Structure 1
């Protein structure tokens, strides 16, 4: 694909244009984006709560790649290609518990939950389960590099990104105070939204508060636009914070238990940050959430929303109300991100302009995406020399 000039995107926010239309509408650009942005970075895949017990396995797709999210018998969460090393057969078709080994349904090659190839029946001929040319020690499942933070399973498909702790050192420092044990609320604390939009528009909408008065009038009635502040760390992350977080209360005045040891900042403060490229996180005094954006196609995204608490046992009624509250808020954004997706088909649209006062977080994200292409193009040029 022809290398684009994205210098206008990388200008200061006062002068910058947004990403060109093709980044939202062109399938060829989507293919380029996979490698330059999503495969080369630490992208969100799932949450560890999807595989709560040793042996739990969930097949999933990430940008067309068949993957297997698995908690091995020792309790470690791993991500493998869901592909047998023999003839490329899919290993696991449905979520299930691996009681013994992972057995390929084609020729019965079997793998331990840590990925080791352990049996190869008849590989040397009938009754001969070994062959000198088939070295089991070299044919384990291909593991995808992964890292877990705030229960989100991040993966680096290319395998050459800097360590997660290095890439996100500033964010880890910013949120070290809320780095507490979190407990997934269970089946009534997760939901998905299927949205007809490009995944980047979901990020852009999430990381700014400019739209609150018109899109979230209920939320804005107690957490007003003027109570919010921008968070923008070029090259790293962006989002928004509020100074007036209001705890949800039951009919008798009960609230969720707080995370231990928080400073006064979190009494009425909360922050909502986009961890580039595709993870949206929220931190409050009494609960947290994680949204993993699954890019299905250039104009299709599935939002996987999970809610977490400071204790493993939370009163069900209040928990359910909290889930519904957040679902309502996030559903209010659907018409916006879908409307922007349709709007991107206006061929004369130049990517749009930013409000320097209000759109810093969104511009920060656009600048980061453009920088990923610059790195990919530089690497491509070096390889061609």
Structure 2
């Protein structure tokens, strides 16, 4: 019907489709994470890779955005990032626990990727981590409030018998969520200050770390019939 969404068709050509397959995965936990900022700000932080190293000492010790591959289609983007060469030198105690549990489960063998981050516009994110899939769905509550529903999925064997693995991974994931909150709150505060001054400041997109943000803005502007976005720098 007109205006309907065909998810299967939208994701038919998804590159890492096999890695994001939920066959054999079981839901372990649903976390409701309240964000005191606009839902679009969440997406912008999610799609901007410059901050990963300096703002995420834990995550940045496990994934490398220097090894970044993008895939863009009409209604989604996918980031695939490599394994950090700092693996084994955890950037936070919480990530040290997660890395230890992961490498113990894998008998010391590094994973093939650091992470895969799919953003299915406008508000759904599917993430691959070694032996983990998560789904984050944003529910706007107000202009400055968003509920992020995070679902954690694991292979049945891990969910049943590797509870330290599960608990360590979830703690690491939520540590990164809280760090992202701080960035998003600052972004919204800055935009509010500009609005109150009557200013509108935009800058060029920096490639490749902000390619995903540009793609999302273009998608959103197309849906909202806005004028063109700033050019790439």
TM interval, short-chain normalised: 0.7 to 0.9
Asked whether the 8 Å contact 2:80–2:117 carries over to 1, the reply is yes
The aligned residue for residue 260 of structure 1 is: none
1:22-41 equivalences in 2 (<5 Å):
none
The aligned residue for residue 18 of structure 2 is: 176
Picking from 230, 233, 257, the partner of 2:72 is: 233
Picking from 194, 217, 221, the partner of 1:366 is: 217
1:133-192 CA-partner distances (Å, limit 9, x unpaired): xxxxxxxxxxxxxxxxxxxxxxxxx97324222223222x5413542422111xxx3322
Q: Mark the CA change 1:316 to 1:166 in structure 2 (over 3 Å): closer, same or farther.
A: same
Q: Mark the CA change 1:285 to 1:218 in structure 2 (over 3 Å): closer, same or farther.
A: closer
1:249-289 CA-partner distances (Å, limit 9, x unpaired): 43992359xxxxxxx9x633531111111011111341111
The aligned residue for residue 230 of structure 2 is: none
Q: Mark the CA change 1:225 to 1:235 in structure 2 (over 3 Å): closer, same or farther.
A: same
- Cα distance between partner residues in 1 of 2:179 and 2:121: 23
The aligned residue for residue 3 of structure 2 is: 160
- Cα distance between partner residues in 2 of 1:305 and 1:206: 14
Q: Mark the CA change 1:248 to 1:221 in structure 2 (over 3 Å): closer, same or farther.
A: closer
Q: What TM-score, normalized by structure 2, do the two folds share? A: 0.77
The aligned residue for residue 292 of structure 1 is: 137
Q: Mark the CA change 1:248 to 1:218 in structure 2 (over 3 Å): closer, same or farther.
A: closer
- Cα distance between partner residues in 1 of 2:190 and 2:19: 41
- Cα distance between partner residues in 2 of 1:316 and 1:302: 27
Tell me, what secondary structure is at the counterpart of 2:187?
A: helix
- Cα distance between partner residues in 2 of 1:352 and 1:302: 29
Tell me the CA shift for residue 230 of structure 1: 4.0
1:191 maps to 2:31:
yes
How many residues get paired?
Answer: 205
Asked whether the 8 Å contact 1:201–1:341 carries over to 2, the reply is yes
- Cα distance between partner residues in 1 of 2:38 and 2:103: 43
Q: What TM-score, normalized by structure 1, do the two folds share? A: 0.48
Asked whether the 8 Å contact 2:102–2:165 carries over to 1, the reply is no
Gap runs ≥5 in structure 1: 1-157, 257-263, 376-385
- Cα distance between partner residues in 2 of 1:199 and 1:329: 17
Greater helix share, structure number: 2
1:17-76 CA-partner distances (Å, limit 9, x unpaired): xxxxxxxxxxxxxxxxxxxxxxxxxxxxxxxxxxxxxxxxxxxxxxxxxxxxxxxxxxxx
Give the structure, 1 or 2, with the largest relative contact order (CA under 8 Å, sep 6 or more): 2
The aligned residue for residue 191 of structure 2 is: 344
Tell me, what secondary structure is at the counterpart of 2:113?
A: coil
Q: Which has the larger radius of gyration?
A: 1
